[in-house]
A and B are shown apart, each in its own frame.
Chain A
Amino acid sequence: MMNVKKIKSLLNKKTVGIAGCGGLGSNCAATLARIGVGKLIIADFDAIDASNLNRQYFFWEQIGQQKVFALADNIHYIDPEVEVIPHDMKLGPAEIISVFAECDIIVEAFDLAEMKQMIIETVSTEFPDKPLIIGNGMAGWGYSNSIKAEKLGKNIYVCGDGKSEISKILPPLAPRVGIVAHMQANTALNILLGNTNEDAL
């Protein structure tokens, strides 16, 4: 067992990459900052819209700002000692390889399934040993117990219910998006503390 001081000293040396700063990425990053992960590399191309505030870790006054810079500010309010490297860019395979090369773990936090597929294929090919934590299926409300964490293969971890796709009648909302974002953070924490055992997910 470890105490808080020991946990923080271990996490302080770690770097986590977060691909996307929407509902999953912004909440996951804030949580990882709170527990003391030393360095967060965050990437997104989008600006904050009022409609994002129903689930994303931003505030009314930040509407219109680029998400990466607003999230870097918010992380700074949580813990100014966390180093944040913001990349205001759209991620493709080449960018993922260059931006996240130094990360101990990559958290996938895109919205589109096509982008999720792209990052899994890129990381599996380029960084086959790097843990990649996917968020997959979190639209709507209720059904908390359908959301789970699974390990697939050597390096892929999947958090979500695996089926609830967003649509006009099944929007992404703070509670379930938050559950998955925090499940991704919990999975990252577990791996960073040296536990990759499937039974401990």
Chain B
Amino acid sequence: MNITLNNRPDTFEEESLTFEELIKKKNFTFKLIVTKLNGILVRKEERNETLIKDGDDVMVLHLVSGG
């Protein structure tokens, strides 16, 4: 499948992935992230059952302390 990940095109062999699988595949091991699928917030507890498919717009934002 071809998706948009953080505004950039990305390709995966799989036809679909759960959000949790995508995070593991991309090695996003950050402690604090915010995830969105096609503009809609996906909460941490929803990442296991949220399916990412071809054409989806995915956002994974890693947050760091400071301000």
Residues of A in contact with B (beta carbons under 8 Å apart): 20, 22-25, 109-114, 116-117, 120-121, 124-125, 128, 134-139, 150-154, 156, 158, 160, 162-166, 172, 177, 198
CB <8 Å contact, B36 and A124: yes
In the bound complex, what is the Cα–Cα distance between A177 and B34 (angstroms)? 22
Q: Is B27 an interface residue (CB 8 A)?
A: no
Q: Apart from A165-B66, A172-B67, what are 9 other A-B pairs with CB-CB below 8 Å?
A: A20-B67, A116-B67, A117-B34, A120-B34, A134-B63, A151-B7, A153-B36, A162-B62, A166-B64
Residues 4 to 56 of chain B near chain A (Cβ within 8 Å): 6-7, 31-34, 36, 39-41, 43
Chain B nearest CB: distance from A164 CB in Å? 7
- Are A154 and B67 also in contact (CB < 8 A) when A113-B32, A117-B32, A121-B34 are? no
In the bound complex, what is the Cα–Cα distance between A54 and B36 (angstroms)? 36
Could you list 10 examples of A-B contacts with CB < 8 Å?
A111-B65, A113-B65, A116-B32, A116-B63, A134-B63, A139-B64, A152-B61, A156-B59, A166-B65, A172-B67
Contact of B6 among A110, A152, A177 (CB under 8 A): A152
CB <8 Å contact, B66 and A166: yes
Chain B nearest CB: distance from A170 CB in Å? 9
- Are A124 and B67 also in contact (CB < 8 A) when A113-B32, A162-B62 are? no
- Are A152 and B7 also in contact (CB < 8 A) when A113-B63, A139-B66 are? yes
- Are A138 and B67 also in contact (CB < 8 A) when A152-B61, A153-B36 are? yes
Contact of A158 among B33, B43, B61, B67 (CB under 8 A): B61
- Are A138 and B34 also in contact (CB < 8 A) when A150-B7, A152-B6 are? no
- Are A172 and B66 also in contact (CB < 8 A) when A117-B34, A124-B36, A158-B61 are? yes
